[in-house]
């Protein structure tokens, strides 16, 4: 049985204690909302998308340490990045969470850049029930990006 230290890494607890990019963005920013129907966690992702770049992102909602820290790390990782880079990052993150690609025609993953803090969430795979917690923010981000198109 994997130990709690595999799941609750210090960097995860740090993002949970001190979440980055909390708040809201006023329209015309995109607002996407995600729910985990099993546990009741909810999240709002606000995106300012200008010229194909996410110039600002804010996170609202409440949830467990894994969903909140994942959202916080995600916000830090995508801010200032291009939509294409972000879509690649979402795929890499889901790959790390052992989630199979749905789109077989997708371009090959670019794994040249390090995942940074996000690596800390790799241990979540050992706790399959929690994978949904970790991916909630990312699926909501995808929803927001689709809206911004």
Partner 1 sequence: MTFDPAVIKKDFPLLEREINGKPVVYLDSANTSQKPRQVIDAMSRFMETSYAPINRSAYQLAAESTDAFEGARAAVRRFINAPRVNEVVFTKNATEALNLVAHSWGGANLRAGDAVVLTHMEHHANIVPWHMLAAERGIELRWVPLTADGQLDLTNLPKLLDGAKVLSFTAMSNVLGTLTPVKQLVDAAHAAGAIAIVDGCQYVPHNPTDVQAWGADFLAFSSHKLCGPSGIGVLWGRESLLDAMPPFLGGGNMIADVRLDGFSCAELPAKFEAGTPPITEAIGMHAAIGYLSALGMGNIRAHEADIAAYAINTLKARYGDDITIHGPTDPAVRGATLSFQFKNVHPHDVSQVLDQANVCVRAGHHCAKPLMKLLGSNATARASFYIYNSTADADALADALANAGDLFGF
Given the rule CB under 8 A, which residues bind partner 1? Answer: 1, 3-4, 7-8, 13, 17, 38-42, 62-68, 127, 130, 133
Residue nearer to partner 1 on the CB measure, 33 or 110: 33
Question: Phi first, then psi: what are they for 107, rounded to 5°?
Answer: -65, 160
CB of 89 to partner 1, least distance (A): 25
CB of 40 to partner 1, least distance (A): 4
CB of 30 to partner 1, least distance (A): 23
Which helix (H) or strand (E) segment holds residue 116: the answer is none
CB of 106 to partner 1, least distance (A): 31
Burial class (CB within 10 angstroms; exposed 0-12, middle 13-18, buried 19+) of 102 = exposed
Residue nearer to partner 1 on the CB measure, 39 or 115: 39
* Residues pairing with 33 in the sheet: 44
Strand order in the sheet with 30-35: 30-35, 42-50, 53-62
Residues in the chain: 149
Residue nearer to partner 1 on the CB measure, 7 or 89: 7
DSSP state of 82: B
Residue nearer to partner 1 on the CB measure, 26 or 38: 38
């Amino acid at each position: 049985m994997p130990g709690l230290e595999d799941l609750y890494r210090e960097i995860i607890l740090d993002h949970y204690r001190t979440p980055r990019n909390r708040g809201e963005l006023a329209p015309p920013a995109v607002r996407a909302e995600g729910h985990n129907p099993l546990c009741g966690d909810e999240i709002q992702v606000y995106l300012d998308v200008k010229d194909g770049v996410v110039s600002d992102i804010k996170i609202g909602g409440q949830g467990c340490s894994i969903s909140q820290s994942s959202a916080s790390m995600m916000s830090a990782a995508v801010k200032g990045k291009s939509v294409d880079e972000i879509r690649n990052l979402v795929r890499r993150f889901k790959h790390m969470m052992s989630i199979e690609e749905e789109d077989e025609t997708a371009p090959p993953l670019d794994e040249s850049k390090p995942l940074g803090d996000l690596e800390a969430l790799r241990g979540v795979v050992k706790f399959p029930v929690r994978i949904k917690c970790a991916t909630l923010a990312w699926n909501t981000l995808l929803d927001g990006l689709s809206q911004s198109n």
